Amino acid sequence: MDRRYAEEKIFRSLTFASTVVIFLTLAFILATVIAKGISYMNLAMITQTPKGGYYLGKEGGVLNAILGSLYLAGGATFLAILVSLPVVLYINIYSKKESKIAAFTRFSFDVLWGVPSIVYGAFGFTIMLFFGLRTSLLGGIITVSLLILPIMSRAIDEVVRMVPTELLDASYALGATKLETALKIVTRQALPGIMTAVLVAFGRGIGDAASVIFTAGFTDSIPYSLFRPAATLPLAIFFQLGTPLPEVQGRAYASALILTSIILIISVVSRALTGRFTRHVVK
């Protein structure tokens, strides 16, 4: 009896200790980013583009990368919505509930979700070679939209699946077509969940570096055309950290703080949204 009790105690404290370790790691990472970043943070970082000699420690900021990242992730999110919403509506409303095509699509999204972003980058690069595109904002947008497509689709699918069948039946009974039901009933009912999915995908898109390194390139100016290269925050962090100068490395810390804050804001907003946009939701 004593041995069992001791074993129980030992393992209970082991599991508790592991939990503490994991959450301390998270806290430690956030603390490192904030502590390191805040001392190098200034207004110029977010309002100026790199001036001449920026990478040697002269004046400037990373506005080019902030805007580049927002454009890139925004464009990619938009493209991904255009594909994922119809696909999800199709597999949930048009095809039969447990049909082969629905199962196959879900499975392939799950598998795509695990494909490393560098592979998306390499694939995006081959597409660009195929169409004769140079590194450009457009190339980056297409690649990142492929990267976030499975994340967004699976997240939207989870909420659309939860829409009660009775609601669909009621809509059909009133004579609505499938398209009307899909657009006017299902998307409204699932709106909070869809918003969350979109935000999660946006966050994933803005933080990814490996997929844009081939495809979006890097530049010191604010992107003004889809066919020009665009800077992104993750790559700005990566390049600045790679320089030997402490001032420039400091800016990498500040850039990381900016990127992490964007991610934190997205995460908080998407939590807050879960309860909102419920005006049209039938409980």
Partner 1 sequence: MLSLTIFSGLIVFIMAFGLYQRSRPILAIKPLNELLFSTSWQPSSGKFGFFPFIMGTLWVTGVAIFIAVPLCLFTTIYLSEYSGARLCKWTNPLIDLLAGIPSVVYGMCGVLVIVPLIKDHIAPFFGTFSSGYSVLAGGVILAVMIFPIIIHVSSEVFRSVPAELREASLALGATKWQTVKHVVIRKAMPGVIAAIVLGLSRAFGETMAVLMVAGNVAKVPSSVLDPAYPLPALIANNYGEMLSVPLYDSALLLASLVLLMVVLSFNIISRIILIRVERNIR
User: What distance in Å separates the CA atoms of residue 238 and residue 55, rounded to the nearest whole number?
Assistant: 13
Q: Of 71 and 120, which has the nearer Cβ to partner 1?
A: 120
Residue 88's closest CA among 146, 164, 162?
162
Nearest CA among 74, 105, 9, 55 for reference residue 255? 55
- Rounded Cα distance between 263 and 8, Å, is 40
Size of the site for partner 1 (CB under 8 A): 84
Site string for partner 1, 180-219 (x = CB under 8 A): --------------------x--xx-xxxxx--xx-----
- Amino acid identity, position 224: Y
Task: Please pick, from the candidates 38, 119, 162, 245, the single residue that binds partner 1 as defined by CB under 8 A.
Answer: 119
User: Can you tell me which of 46, 70, 127, 176 binds partner 1, judged by CB under 8 A?
Assistant: 127
Q: Which of 63, 198, 248, 259 binds partner 1 (CB under 8 A)?
A: 259
Q: Which of 24, 47, 97, 116 binds partner 1 (CB under 8 A)?
A: 116
Taking CB under 8 A as the criterion, the residue among 38, 111, 281, 282 binding partner 1 is 111
Closest separation between CB of residue 138 and partner 1, Å?
A: 18
Out of 38, 129, 265, 282, which residue is the one contacting partner 1 (CB under 8 A)? 129
> CB of 260 within 8 A of CB of 30?
yes
Q: Which residues contact 255 (CB under 8 A, 6 or more apart)?
A: 37, 45, 62, 65, 233, 236, 237, 240
Decide if residue 7 touches partner 1 (CB under 8 A). Answer: yes
Taking CB under 8 A as the criterion, which residues in 52-81 touch partner 1? Answer: none
Please pick, from the candidates 78, 107, 131, 224, the single residue that binds partner 1 as defined by CB under 8 A: 107
105 binds partner 1 (CB under 8 A): yes
Closest to partner 1 by CB, 78 vs 107, is 107
CA distances from 260 to 31, 37, 203, 267 (A): 11, 10, 10, 10
Going from the C-alpha of 11 to that of each of 1, 3, 8, 51, the distances in angstroms are: 16, 12, 5, 57
Contact 147, 162 (CB under 8 A): no
Output 9 or 51, the one with its CB closest to partner 1. 9
Show contacts with partner 1 in window 31-50 (CB under 8 A): 32-33, 36
